[in-house]
Amino acid sequence: MSDVPESHPRYESLRLRDRLVAGVEAGITSAHGLIAHGRGEAYDYLLGETGGPWATTATEATAAWLLRASHPVLSVNGNTASLVPEDLVRLSTATGAPLEVNIFHTSSDRERAMAEHLKAHGATDVLLPDGVTAIEGIDSNRRFVHSDGILQADVIFVPLEDGDRCGALRRLGRDVLTVDLNPLSRTARTATVTIVDNVVRALPALLDQVERLRDQGEAALDGIIRDFDNTSVLAQAEQRIRTGGR
């Protein structure tokens, strides 16, 4: 932690920056991840730095999709590995969905460092791309996956995603659940479910929803899935940004 005093009005925000800088220094987060985080901060500021009703609705739907999936997978990148490692491990345990490292900016060293970091936060097993198995329709490093993970998955949780992979997975008929502070991004618009909130708030809220819905019957979960409208939650978030909540 840097020398930011706890009394600083932007303490929480600065603490998150510290976590990402530490992630870069530890070889977990890409330097590009700092820029991506800055873009997220700007949207977070405009959204009032709180999850609104759009996020609550999408979080409930994400929980329902994960609980109803046959083969869910949680995809982890360098930013989420630094920001929410414990929550990702807890979500994996709560849903039975394996954690799979999948990064945009190619680095085998970073993949290994991320897996070790997740294990240090309680993960027993972390899937890594094998360098051979690839998803069609993606040109970036994100195409490389694990043959028992994303390759087989029907539902993939991909917080802080880039639009290319999201679009490719949707074209392959997969359901993509994402967390993205930008309701205008290609990922936000292409995903099955978009939680427009900061991943550091979204993950604890998602864990709560998984626990709440865990004992609901299939019909109740299917009802949540059927009634969910991603266009509507994105419009609500965009409206919040445009009006400042007035």
SS3 category, 14: helix
Determine the size of the site formed for ligand PTJ (CB under 6 A): 23
Taking CB under 6 A as the binding criterion, the range among 28-36, 66-74, 118-126, 230-238 that sits at the site for ligand PTJ is 28-36
Does residue 182 bind ligand PTJ (CB under 6 A)?
Answer: yes
Per CB under 6 A, the list member of 85, 180, 191, 228 interacting with ligand PTJ is 180
Judge contact between 104 and 141, C-beta under 8 A: yes
Does residue 190 bind ligand PTJ (CB under 6 A)?
Answer: no
165-173 long-range contacts, Cβ below 8 Å, gap at least 24?
Answer: 165/102, 165/135, 165/138, 165/140, 166/190, 166/191, 167/137, 168/135, 168/136, 168/137, 168/138, 169/135, 171/137, 172/135, 172/136, 172/137
What is the token pair recorded at 44?
Answer: 């977070």
Residue 64: closest CA among 180, 230, 220, 183:
220
Per CB under 6 A, the list member of 37, 90, 143, 240 interacting with ligand PTJ is 37
CA geometry: angle 65, 182, 119, nearest 5 deg: 55
Beta bridge partners of 156: 73, 176
Per CB under 6 A, the list member of 19, 23, 33, 72 interacting with ligand PTJ is 33
Does residue 18 bind ligand PTJ (CB under 6 A)?
Answer: no
> 54 to 113, contacts with ligand PTJ by CB under 6 A?
77-79, 103-105
Per CB under 6 A, the list member of 199, 206, 207, 234 interacting with ligand PTJ is 199
Per CB under 6 A, the list member of 32, 171, 212, 214 interacting with ligand PTJ is 32
Interface ranges with ligand PTJ (CB under 6 A) = 30, 32-33, 36-37, 39-40, 43, 77-79, 103-105, 160, 162, 179-182, 185, 198-199
